[in-house]
Amino acid sequence: MKKSVIQRQRPDIFESFDHFNEWLSAPGHWLSGVQRIDVAKATRAVADCPACRAISDALSPKSLDHQHQCVTGLPAPVEVVIHRLISDQTRLTSADISSLSDLFGADSAYAYVEILGVAVCQFSLDEFHRGLGLTLPKLPKPKEGRPDHYLPAHLETDTAWVPMIPTDQVSPAEQDLWPGNRGANVLRALSAAPDTVRAWQHLSETMYLSLQGMAEMIHAPNRVLSRMQMELIAGRVSALNQCLY
């Protein structure tokens, strides 16, 4: 399918990609613009990484001594975590997050959340292009500036390996992240770096459904597929990816 055809039918999709690239190129909460672009580059490199293929097929990922294809200026442990996030995510452990402590110190869990958010969004955008036979778009040029080290209030660490905003203690600054007190864990997983939740939601709204749309079992007027057809595909893809949700 040609890009021009998709742009005529769903211009909002590529507009959301432009919005994501604008966000990606800027400094985040814990990563600079250069580092965020490097996370995106490392995410793309997984597709051609022999080590990822060998490790994902192995009974135990730590039984092999394969070297991942490091293609950026990020420290090797960060690139390895990114590769694992994309190719072997079901076997990640809390130790993989702790492995970043030498680089980010006490902030390693927050940096990991931002790395995860960038990788997930970039991988989604790239898979859209690969699935339709489109050339991967160029990554944006990074903007200058430093991370703001912003932390939401009331983060809790009882639910997961990373801090998350409790569903019942959302501060006014984060009221837009999810409706009411219905923040599912899949939404809260990135909430320690709230701008990553916003970036993910913006892509999800055009590539799948908005949060409000997920709760409405109707046929959206701008979609060819019915809601049942969309969920059938989503369920099948989730099963193939071993997604617990």
Residues 54 and 172 occupy one common structural domain: yes
The total of structural domains in the chain comes to: 2
Residues 204 and 229 occupy one common structural domain: no
Tens of pLDDT along 64-85?
Answer: 666 777 888 898 889 989 998 9
Residues 204 and 238 occupy one common structural domain: no
Residues 161 and 81 occupy one common structural domain: yes
Residues 207 and 242 occupy one common structural domain: no
Q: How far apart are CA 151 and CA 131, in angstroms?
A: 36
**pLDDT reading at 213 higher than 90:** no
Residue 57 phi, psi dihedral angles, 5° rounding: -90, -10
Quick one: average pLDDT of 127-135?
Answer: 93
Dihedral in degrees, nearest 10, Cα atoms 144, 147, 148, 150: 150
For residue 165, the 8-state DSSP code is -
Residues 188 and 224 occupy one common structural domain: no
For all residues of the chain together, what is the average pLDDT?
89
> Closest Cα to residue 178, out of 165, 168, 187?
187
Residues 134 and 95 occupy one common structural domain: yes
123 alpha carbon, distance to own chain's centre: 7
Whole-number pLDDT of residue 82: 93
Q: Are 179 and 138 in contact (CB under 8 A)?
A: no
Residues 234 and 186 occupy one common structural domain: no
Q: Among residues of the chain, what percentage have pLDDT more than 70?
A: 96
Residues 232 and 126 occupy one common structural domain: no
Going by pLDDT thresholds of 50, 70 and 90, the confidence category of residue 97 is confident
Residues 31 and 147 occupy one common structural domain: yes
Residues 238 and 123 occupy one common structural domain: no
Domain holding 223, by residue range, is 215-245
Going by pLDDT thresholds of 50, 70 and 90, the confidence category of residue 130 is very high
pTM: 0.90
**pLDDT reading at 91 higher than 90:** no
Tens of pLDDT along 5-33?
Answer: 888 888 999 999 999 999 999 999 999 99
Nearby residues of 180 by Cβ (< 8 Å), 6 or more positions away: none
Going by pLDDT thresholds of 50, 70 and 90, the confidence category of residue 245 is low
Going by pLDDT thresholds of 50, 70 and 90, the confidence category of residue 46 is very high
